Amino acid sequence: MSSVSPARRREVIDALRRGAVPSAGLDLFAVGLDRFVTAVGEDLDTVAAGGSVFKAVRGEYGSGKTFFARWIAERAKQANLATAEVQISENETPLHKLETVYRRLTERLTTSTFPPSAIRPVVDGWFYALEEDVLAAGEVSPDDAEALDRAVTALLDQRLAAVSRSAPAFAAALRGYRAATTAGDPATAEAVLAWLGGQPHVAASARRVAGVRGDLDHFAALSFLQGLLAVLRDSGHPGLLLVLDEVETLQRVRSDARDKALNALRQLIDEVHSGRFPGLYLVITGTPAFYDGPQGVQRLAPLAQRLAVDFTTDPRFDNPRAVQIRLAGFTVDSLVELGGRVRDLYADGSDAPDRVRALVDDAYLGDLARAVAGGLGGKVGVAPRLFLKKLVGDVLDRVDQYADFDPRQHYALTLSATEMTDVERNATSADAISLDL
């Protein structure tokens, strides 16, 4: 791991110290994902070639669903795809309101070059590509601004013809954005771009400039997604990875909202498979209870049919190409492997790498893994986040900074309810547990 840059190493270590999933560098310590590499690569190739893919990921809490989704996102960015991770929630992002999902998508849109929200650089890049295509045709002089503008507008309408049949407002908003930008009116341009991104309550004056009315609704959201994919493709990004995380929260909403959300999910899947969204890689994550329980997928028979996969066989022979895949979760051995990768990554940036590796050897990692799991009622599956947080913040940092610190002698693991998530807290009945290693 010595080839890892200091900045990348620091970003990963800092995130683990906070108990968070790093936003990048996941390949440095991904454990147990080798069997998915080929299938994910095939999916990304399909999307980059103009196809579309849907994948459902299942796993218990703590099995690494968010990590897995972000691991795919890293690979997608390496293929120059745009990505967006949207957490489904009853209040912030209800799935039965697709206009809200689209808005969150544009807010979290990112590329290998631009952080969220990348909507403006993507749109600007698209207009630049249109201008280049017009000039390459040789029919317009670059010195004739008016002719160039007319040609770009005509090409815009041509490229978005399929989208405009169901949502003419998408192309209208893009024309309004370009007009405001060309006229030197950044405030109006920003407002129109916000409306294009699904933001509500955009000033009426800006909407008039673009010739659009009202706010984006549920029915137009899918057409706007179709338009966004076209813009991404022409601006150099062959596709979009969209992750809908924590879909299992649908089980806790009112029954009418739940039914609408399940039907919206069924509609999304059908639209992906119909080819309406070329370049879309749609991933959802949820718990087994969501896929198999009466308050989840099984509540809507057509959706259950589309996601049906036989998981009664030995997990070793799971099909990573199936529409639904499962994450096996962690064991003590896989936690030790994970801890070893993080330790080595940390040691490569330490002034005392030999001491770090000697004091935090695999035997100690096993002791720490069993202790953390024991503090969580023996549930190893929910232990990774706290295990890594304790390993980095309580153990490795001290070994690195204090020459006389020995974790076996000077450190006793303490798990407090205040540092736990709800899932971790529910795994133990005690508010504070002190375990000696």
Average pLDDT estimate for 363-376: 93
pLDDT over 50 at 172, yes or no: yes
Q: Which residues are 9's β-sheet partners? A: none
Together in a domain, 288 and 381? no
352 and 392 in a common domain: yes
Domain assignment present for residue 410? The answer is yes
Helix, strand and coil content of the chain, in percent to the nearest 5, comes to 60, 10, 30
Average pLDDT along the chain: 92
Band of residue 432 on the pLDDT scale cut at 50, 70, 90: very low
Q: Are residues 319 and 343 in the same domain?
A: no
Q: Is residue 54 part of a domain?
A: yes
Backbone angles phi, psi at 222, to 5 degrees: -65, -35
Tokens representing 139? Answer: 């029919």
pLDDT (average), residues 201-216? 91
| % of the chain at pLDDT higher than 70 | 97
Helix (H/G/I), strand (E/B), else coil: 318: coil
Average pLDDT over residues 289-314: 95
Query: Can you give the pTM of this predicted structure?
Result: 0.88
pLDDT at 321 over 90: yes
The answer, yes or no, to whether residue 44 has pLDDT greater than 50, is: yes
Same domain, 125 and 177: yes
Per the domain annotation, does 79 fall within a domain?
yes
**Rounded Cα distance, 68 and 55, in Å:** 12
Per-residue pLDDT, averaged over 146-154, amounts to 90
Q: Which residues of 174-185 are buried (b: 16+ CB within 10 A; e: fewer)?
A: bbbbbbbbeeee
pLDDT band at 99 (very low <50, low <70, confident <90, very high): very high
CB atoms closer than 10 angstroms to residue 158: 10
* pLDDT score recorded for residue 2: 55
Of residues 257 and 61, more confidence is placed in: 257
pLDDT at 430: 43
Is the predicted pLDDT of residue 365 greater than 60, yes or no? yes
The SS3 assignment for 416 reads strand
Alpha helices in 318-405 (DSSP H): 332-348, 353-359, 362-375, 384-390, 397-401
57: which strand partners? 285, 325
Helices and strands, number each (H, E), in the chain: 21, 7
Instruction: State the residue for tokens 């133990």.
Output: 428
Give the number of other Cβ atoms within 10 Å of residue 313's Cβ. 9
Q: Which residues pair with 416 in a beta bridge?
A: 432
Spatial contact of 158 and 140, defined as CB atoms under 8 Å apart: no
With a pLDDT cut of 90, the percent of the chain lying above it is: 75
Shared domain for 125 and 196, answered yes or no, is yes
Q: Give the number of other CB atoms < 10 A from CB of residue 414.
A: 13
Q: Are 79 and 237 in contact (CB under 8 A)?
A: no
Is 55 among the domain residues?
yes
Claim to verify: residue 250 and residue 106 sit in the same structural domain = yes
Is 5 inside a domain boundary? no
Per-residue pLDDT tens for 5-26?
A: 898 899 999 999 999 888 888 8
pLDDT of residue 376: 87
> Looking at residues 215-239, what average pLDDT do you find?
93
pLDDT in tens, 107-119: 999 999 999 999 9
**Rounded CA gap, 182 and 189, in Å?**
9
Are both 347 and 413 inside the same structural domain? yes
Does residue 3 carry a pLDDT above 80?
A: no
Examine the fold and report which residue of 186, 216, 246 is the final residue of a domain before the chain moves on. Answer: 216
Report whether pLDDT(282) > 80: yes
Average pLDDT over residues 317-330: 92
Same domain, 241 and 105: yes
Per the structure, how many domains does the chain have?
3
**The last residue of a domain, from among 306, 326, 346:** 326
Judge whether 359 lies within some domain: yes
231-254 pLDDT tens trace: 999 999 999 999 999 999 999 899
Domain end position, chosen among 292, 326, 360: 326
Q: Could you tell me the CATH number of the domain that includes residue 300?
A: 3.40.50.300
Residue 79: give the domain boundaries: 50-111+237-326
Q: Which two tokens stand for residue 71?
A: 């691991």
100 and 146, same domain (yes or no): no
Residues 48-56, mean pLDDT to the nearest whole number? 97
**Does 241 lie in the same domain as 107?**
yes
State whether 97 and 65 are in the same domain.
yes
How far, in Å, are 20, 62, 63, 434 from residue 423 at the CA level?
A: 15, 8, 12, 19
Both structure tokens of 189: 């341009």
Which helix H or strand E contains 155, and what residues bound it?
Answer: helix 145-159
* Averaged pLDDT for residues 430-436: 45
C-beta of residue 198 within 8 angstroms of C-beta of residue 219: no
| DSSP type of residue 115 | P
pLDDT of residue 291: 96
State the pLDDT at residue 431: 42
Q: Tell me: do 273 and 360 sit in the same domain.
A: no
In a domain, 134, yes or no: yes
Q: Tell me the pLDDT band of 423, cut-offs 50, 70 and 90.
A: confident
Residue 437 has pLDDT above 70, yes or no: no
**SS3 state of residue 133:** helix
247 within domain boundaries? yes
Please name every residue paired with 245 in a beta bridge, in sequence order, or none if there are none. Answer: 87
